[in-house]
Amino acid sequence: MDSWLTAVILSIVEGLTEFLPVSSSGHLILAGDLLGFSGEKAATFQVVIQLGAIMAVVVLYWGRFWGLLKPTPGAAFSGLRGIGLLLLTSLPACVLGLLLHSAIKHLFTPLSVLCALATGAVIMIVVEKLPRRTERYATLDEMTPRLALGIGCFQCLALWPGFSRSASTIMGGMLLGAKRSLAAEYSFIAAVPIMIAATGYDLLKSWHLLSTADVPFFAIGMIGSFLSALVAIKVFIALVSRMTLIPFAVYRLILAPLVYFFMVN
């Protein structure tokens, strides 16, 4: 059995980075490598503890998710329409992820993460420096099928570990005319179906690697990621309307060479 301290450390890393544009999978791969926690079971653990972060979103946005089941009068992002928008966003990455699942597993390395961190950082800076397009969408109720599908296409970039799902969806939303605050909020909500699908599929593929002895280790990881994700989401939402993505891009550009010199070279 792996150290429970390893589960705690990795769960905190997951929760704090899952919804920030810095890549949780990239940080988990790097942290796991430093802790000597690698291999197929480690990769499954890194995916499964995302369920804790997912639950943090459900708790914080409970009203919106309940509105998907029980339509809210006057709210366009509710009921079948809201579910349909989330499905449109999830579809591209689900299809591509199923087709490339085996290939993606080979990208769970420090070198791959390094490249994704740097590439994503450069794109984030470019997006922020582009002349600002008209911000046509400001709230969830203004989401359209075109915007939802477009964000879903950008989300495919996150299949490269280290790129960041939140970075890809926030940048995609901004490029398509959404306010940064809306792009961030929708990024959190849209994470739920795609992450549940990815986690469920990975568990089915890796079920033979697990045993009942792994349950406490995985449970600690999920609880830790849930608590730390609650903090990360609240802090990011408070900051996102007052700052750009550039500080996160700079952080990624600083981290990338450190990864090269200490973990790759």
Which DSSP string do the residues of 86-126 spell out, in sequence order?
HHHHHHHHHHHHHHTHHHHHTT-SHHHHHHHHHHHHHHHHH
pTM score: 0.85
Q: In whole angstroms, what is the distance from residue 246 CA to residue 257 CA?
A: 18
Res 209 pLDDT > 80 = no
Q: In whole angstroms, what is the distance from residue 225 CA to residue 50 CA?
A: 7
**pLDDT above 70 covers what percent of the chain?**
98
User: What's the average model confidence in pLDDT over 83-95?
Assistant: 94
Q: How confident is the model at residue 1 (pLDDT cuts 50, 70, 90)?
A: very low
Identify whether the C-beta of residue 37 lies closer than 8 Å to the C-beta of residue 2: yes
Rg for the chain, CA atoms, rounded: 18
**Beta-strand (E) ranges in the chain?**
none
- Highest-confidence segment of 37-41, 144-148, 260-264: 144-148
**Identity of the amino acid at 81:** R
Number of CB atoms found within 10 A of residue 74's CB: 7
Q: In whole angstroms, what is the distance from residue 76 CA to residue 55 CA?
A: 24
Number of CB atoms found within 10 A of residue 108's CB: 22
Q: Which stretch of DSSP H or E encloses residue 52?
A: helix 50-60
| Both tokens assigned to 265 | 């070279």
User: What's the average model confidence in pLDDT over 103-128?
Assistant: 88
Look at residue 265 in the predicted model and tell me its pLDDT: 61
pLDDT digits (tens, 9 = 90+) for 162-201: 899 999 999 999 999 999 889 999 999 999 988 888 788 7
Res 208 pLDDT > 80 = no
pLDDT digits (tens, 9 = 90+) for 215-263: 888 889 999 999 999 999 988 888 877 888 999 999 999 998 888 887 7
